Structure formats: C-alpha cells, structure tokens
C-alpha cells in the first residue's frame, strides 16, 4: 500500500467506520439532519410567499427568493454542523482513555499522527456524508434563480472548512483532557467562540472608515473566522455594508453639520436651502465579494475565511500530535537534577 493510501486508510479508520455505521444512531442523526434542514427551507419559503416577516413589503422578486432561501439554508446548515461536529470528535481520544484502550493504540506501529488522523477522518467522513445528503435540498434554490453553481460550490467549501476546523479543535481537546465530558464542554465552547464570538467581535471592535477611500472598508481579519459574513456575501454577491466598521467622532460631527445651498431666483433674488447632513459615498464604487483593505486585500471573503480555518486546523493538529504521546517530547518545566549522593566514608582499618 502506497503512503497516500496508508494515510487515508488505516486500521483505525476501518474500525471506526464499522462501529459507527452499524448502530442506529447514525441513521437517526442523518434523518434528523435532513428533516431539520428541509423543514427550515419549507418554513422560509412559506414565510416569503405568504408575505410574512416583512418580505412582501420589500418587493422581492423570484431571484431574491432564491438568494434569501439559499442564505438561510446555508447558515442553518453551519449551525447544525456546529452542534454535530464537536460531538463526533470530542470523545475520539478521551473515549479511548476511559475504556482503557489507549495503551493498545500506543503499542501498535501507528504513529500518534496516524492515530489522530484516523480518528479525525472517520468523524469528518460522516460530516461529508451529511453535506452530500443536503445537496438535493440546495438544488431547489435553482428553481427561483439568483444563485449560480459557483456560489453553491464556494458556500459548501466554506462550510466544509468550518466543519473541519471544528473537528480539529474537538480532537485537540479530546487529546488534552482525560475525560469526555470536559473535552465536550471545551469543544462546544470553542465552537461558540469561532462561530459567534468572532462575528460579535466585529460589532465590539470595529475599524475606522477612511472617508477619502472609494472602496468598502474591510472588517477586522479575525471576524472572517466566522463563516456568517462570507456566506452572506456569497449568497447576495454584495459586501455586508456597515459591519465591522465605524465613523470616528470627528467624522460624525462633520456629517451632522450639513451645509446650505444658495441659488439665484428668476426675479433677481437669492434663495438658500439647507442640504442636511452630507454622507460620504465610501464603498459605493466597490460592489462584489472582494476585500479591498486589511490583511487580505484583494481576496474574496470566502477565500480569506477558508485560509483562516486552515490555519486553525494546522495549529490544532500540531497541538494534538505533541500532547497525545504518553512520553512528552517537550516539558514546560525543567527537571531538577538529582542531588549528588555523598561518597561513603572509608571503613576504619
């Protein structure tokens, strides 16, 4: 077997496949996933067609129906995977410790990296199966128009990268803790921070808008860890205006001051009128899903999000590979050298 096949398929993957798919939990989880995703799609479509939630007052056309339906479906799918993925990976290593079978894995020829990769591959293959099963539901949005096939591909790429990063984080906490319960709590806490915490960060710590720029100011780079903004930009094909940006106090005072406009009248007089607040048109000339400022200048939102997710995966994988072996390669504290034992005194002659 060549190295690539050995990396993608090892005894741990085969064992996890058999034990996972032979129980009733996997078909039940698949059924619940499809029912929830399909039920949300039906609810959103019913709300739009019956003029609920203000959709009828906005004059939405058929193409807008497709965009809104796609946006709600893809964001809800990420939320579902945020609940499913940590549960699949947080007990992968800690469960072996609780069953006292981790030592059997250490005495096998498998390296710690192969053990981690096998556990992760077995868990993430179930997530990939869920994504494949959701494709027929997402194909319904093409009936309304407004969504192209490349947008679906980009959205699924962001969703897959998000699920992969959550899986790596769950494996890392499973390697760190000896019990499944604290590993699961930590994995869900990290998922909450990655999905929602980084999104809220854009509202708490926005960047200042340059009034002289004619492009949209990009939000903080850390907010792209959350897939919410990249998925919205993919669905609408427009940047999210106002998110992660703010006007300074000096700019606000200039905006609120306004001005006046005077023009001559027919009878030789002068008529003046207030122009009201003047708002700069920053960003009006840069539509699309491209970042024009910040760390990822020139990148698309979804490209920057995938790169951030892959960086998290690399850090979590390195951490897991270092902390999993029973013999630590690196010690946080330097061991003290034992005190020299005094030489025994010579016996008297």
Task: Give the chain as a 3 state SS string.
Answer: CCHHHHHHCCHHHHHHHHHHHCCCHHHHHHHHHHHHHHHHHHHHHHHHHCCCCCHHHHCCCHHHHHHHHHHHHHHHHHHHHHHHHHHHHCCCCHHHHHCCCHHHHHCCCCCHHHHHHHHHHHHHHHHHHHHHHCHHHHHHHHHCCCCCHHHHHHHHHHHHHHHHHHHHHHHHHHHHCCCHHHHHHHHHHHHHHHHHHHHHHHHHCCEECCCCCCCCCCCCHHHHHCCHHHHHHHHHCCCCCCCCEECCHHHHHHHHHCCEEEEECCCCCEEEEECCCCCCCCCCCCCCCECCCCCCCCCEHHHHHHHHHHHHHHHHHHHHHHHCCCCCCCCCCCCCCCCCCCCCCCCCC
Query: What's residue 115's pLDDT?
Result: 81
Query: What's residue 8's pLDDT?
Result: 60
> Is residue 262 one of the residues assigned to a domain?
no
Query: What's residue 257's pLDDT?
Result: 54
> Is residue 232 one of the residues assigned to a domain?
yes
What are the distances in angstroms from CA 201 to CA 104, 131, 225, 272?
A: 44, 28, 11, 45
Q: What letters, b where the CB count within 10 A reaches 16 and e where it falls short, cover 83-115? A: ebbbebbbbbbbbbbeeeebeebeeeebebebb
> Is residue 62 one of the residues assigned to a domain?
yes
Pairs from 23-28 (Cβ < 8 Å, separation ≥ 24): 26/126
> Is residue 304 one of the residues assigned to a domain?
yes
> Is residue 134 one of the residues assigned to a domain?
yes
**Tally of structural domains, the chain:** 1
Q: Which domain holds residue 182?
A: 13-250+280-323
- Please tell me the distance from the alpha carbon of residue 15 to that of residue 17, in angstroms, as a whole number: 5
Query: What's residue 56's pLDDT?
Result: 47
> Is residue 219 one of the residues assigned to a domain?
yes
Q: Could you tell me whether strands 207-208 and 260-264 are parallel, antiparallel, or unpaired per DSSP bridges?
A: unpaired
Closest CA to 65 of 85, 79, 46, 93: 46
Query: What's residue 284's pLDDT?
Result: 39
- Answer yes or no: pTM beyond 0.85: no
Contacts (Cβ under 8 Å, ≥6 apart) of 221:
294, 295, 296, 304, 308
Query: What's residue 15's pLDDT?
Result: 74
> Is residue 271 one of the residues assigned to a domain?
no
> Is residue 349 one of the residues assigned to a domain?
no
Task: Give pLDDT tens digits along the chain (349 positions).
Answer: 566 566 566 777 777 777 777 777 788 888 999 999 988 888 888 887 775 445 444 545 556 778 888 989 999 999 999 999 998 888 888 888 888 888 787 777 777 777 888 888 888 888 988 999 999 888 888 887 778 899 999 999 999 999 999 999 999 999 888 898 999 999 999 999 999 999 999 889 888 877 776 777 888 889 989 999 999 999 888 877 778 888 766 655 655 555 444 444 444 444 555 444 444 444 433 446 788 888 888 888 999 999 999 999 999 988 888 888 766 554 545 555 566 666 666 666 5
């Amino acid at each position: 077997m060549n190295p690539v096949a050995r990396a993608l398929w090892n005894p741990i993957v085969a064992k996890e496949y058999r034990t996972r798919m032979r129980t009733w939990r996997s078909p039940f989880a698949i059924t619940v996933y499809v029912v929830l995703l399909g039920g949300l799609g039906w609810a959103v479509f019913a709300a739009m067609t019956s003029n609920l939630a203000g959709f009828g007052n906005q004059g939405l056309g058929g193409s807008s129906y497709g965009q809104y339906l796609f946006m709600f479906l893809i964001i809800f799918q990420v939320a579902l995977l945020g609940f499913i993925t940590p549960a699949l990976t947080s007990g992968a290593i800690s469960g072996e410790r609780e069953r006292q079978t981790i030592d059997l894995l250490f005495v096998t020829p498998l390296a710690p990296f192969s053990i981690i990769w096998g556990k992760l591959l077995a868990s993430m293959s179930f997530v990939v199966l869920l994504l494949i099963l959701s494709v027929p539901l997402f194909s319904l949005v093409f009936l309304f128009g407004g969504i192209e096939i490349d947008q679906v591909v980009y959205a699924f790429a962001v969703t897959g990268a998000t699920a992969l990063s959550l899986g790596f984080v769950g494996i890392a906490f499973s390697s760190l803790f000896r019990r499944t319960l604290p590993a699961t709590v930590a994995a869900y806490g990290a998922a909450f921070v990655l999905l929602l915490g980084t999104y809220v960060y854009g509202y708490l710590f926005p960047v200042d808008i340059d009034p002289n720029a004619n492009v949209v100011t990009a939000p903080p780079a850390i907010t792209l860890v959350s897939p919410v903004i990249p998925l919205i930009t993919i669905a609408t094909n427009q940047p999210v205006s106002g998110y992660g940006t703010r006007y300074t106090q000096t700019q606000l005072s200039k905006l609120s001051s306004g001005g006046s406009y005077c023009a001559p009248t027919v009878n030789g007089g002068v008529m003046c009128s207030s122009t009201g607040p003047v708002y700069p048109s920053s960003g009006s000339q840069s539509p699309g899903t491209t970042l024009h400022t910040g760390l990822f200048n020139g990148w698309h939102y979804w490209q920057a999000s995938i790169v951030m997710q892959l960086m998290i995966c690399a850090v979590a994988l390195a951490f897991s590979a270092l902390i999993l072996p029973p013999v630590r390669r690196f010690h946080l504290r330097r061991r003290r050298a034992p005190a020299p034992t005094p030489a025994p005194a010579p016996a008297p002659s």
